[in-house]
Amino acid sequence: MTAAQPALDQAFRALSDPTRRAVVQALGRGPASVSELARPFEMALPSFLQHLKVLEESGLVTTAKSGRVRTCTLRTETLAAAGHWLEAQRTLWTRRLDQLDSFVMQLKDLEETP
């Protein structure tokens, strides 16, 4: 396990929920207040705040309070780290599937050779 693994685990845990993914997507358009982010969801504010807490603890979102308004901002570094991990997995599996395809084609050529 790498030093970044626990942070990555938290990020993927946070992104496993559709509400939190929608919040991350909304914040991809820019910072927003808690009330703006909560508006599309049919849930009580305390429930929505629990989702924000998970996103903050995972490092995906930061919040700052100015007067009575709490504004949320996406932390792109954490999202980028998750993206890099996914890309590495995609590269690995693409290479493995290419090797399998090559092997199957060799077997097919052997079967067709008299």
For the chain, the structural domain boundaries read 5-112
Could you give the strand order of the β-sheet that contains 69-74, starting from the edge strand earlier in sequence? 32-33, 69-74, 61-66
CATH tag for 5-112 (out of 3.40.50.1100, 3.20.20.140, 3.40.1160.10, 1.10.10.10): 1.10.10.10
Amino acid at 45: L
Provide the pLDDT for residue 109. 80
Please list the pLDDT of the chain residue by residue as tens digits (114 residues): 555 677 889 999 999 999 999 999 999 999 999 999 999 999 999 999 999 999 999 999 999 999 999 999 999 888 888 888 889 889 888 888 888 888 888 888 888 876
